[in-house]
């Protein structure tokens, strides 16, 4: 019985400590073109997007998003920017898409000036050796 009580308290404390917040930082807002990424998993490997394919992730300042493949909407909805506490970086944030609430995508954001302009990496952190996508900001 004592173990049950401690487990219940731990679950309640964890739930009370978890909260979704939308960051007021709108540096993520804009259109992002997928350029490649890592497949993840034990085999891993990288992938490059073919020249005749275009994948655009539009993150809007009102926390809505649209994902297009070759101009056709494939996903849309809302997203949240939340603290990501399972890392050594106390400032780490993750994007959580409302239609995929179990997947926290760790944000790797590099803003210009640097070669190639602004870049964004989204890594699925809910899977060991999770896949990631690399994006560049486009107009």
Q: What pLDDT score does 24 carry?
A: 57
Q: What pLDDT score does 126 carry?
A: 74
Half-sphere exposure of residue 82: CA atoms within 13 angstroms, side-chain side: 18
- Where residue 91 falls among pLDDT bands split at 50, 70, 90? confident
Q: Is the pLDDT of residue 139 over 70?
A: yes
pLDDT higher for 13 or 138? 138
Per-residue pLDDT tens over the stretch 101-119: 666 777 777 776 556 688 8
Per-residue pLDDT tens over the stretch 8-66: 222 222 222 333 455 556 788 999 999 998 887 777 788 888 889 999 999 999 999 99
Dihedral sign (CA 98, 99, 103, 107): negative
pLDDT higher for 86 or 37? 37
Q: What pLDDT score does 97 carry?
A: 86
Q: From 2.40.40, 1.10.10, 2.30.230, 2.40.128, which CATH number describes the 20-138 domain?
A: 2.40.128
Per-residue pLDDT tens over the stretch 31-45: 999 999 888 777 778
DSSP state of 99: T
Q: What pLDDT score does 61 carry?
A: 92
Domain definitions of the chain by residue range: 20-138
Residue 80 contacts by C-beta under 8 Å, 6 or more apart in sequence? 20, 21, 22, 63, 95, 96, 98
Three-state secondary structure call for residue 81:
strand
């Amino acid at each position: 019985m004592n173990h049950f009580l401690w487990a219940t308290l731990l679950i309640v404390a964890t739930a009370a400590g978890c909260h979704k917040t939308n960051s007021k930082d709108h540096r993520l807002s804009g259109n992002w073109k997928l350029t490649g990424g890592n497949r993840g998993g034990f085999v891993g490997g990288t992938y490059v997007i073919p020249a005749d394919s275009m994948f655009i992730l539009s993150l809007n300042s009102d926390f809505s998003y649209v994902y297009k493949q070759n101009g056709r909407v494939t996903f849309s909805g809302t997203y949240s920017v939340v603290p990501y506490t399972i890392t050594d970086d106390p400032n780490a944030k993750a994007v959580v898409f409302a239609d995929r609430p179990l997947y926290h995508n760790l944000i790797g954001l590099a803003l210009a000036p640097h070669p190639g302009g602004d870049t964004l990496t989204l890594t699925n952190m809910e899977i060991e050796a999770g896949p990631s996508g690399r994006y560049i900001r486009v107009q």
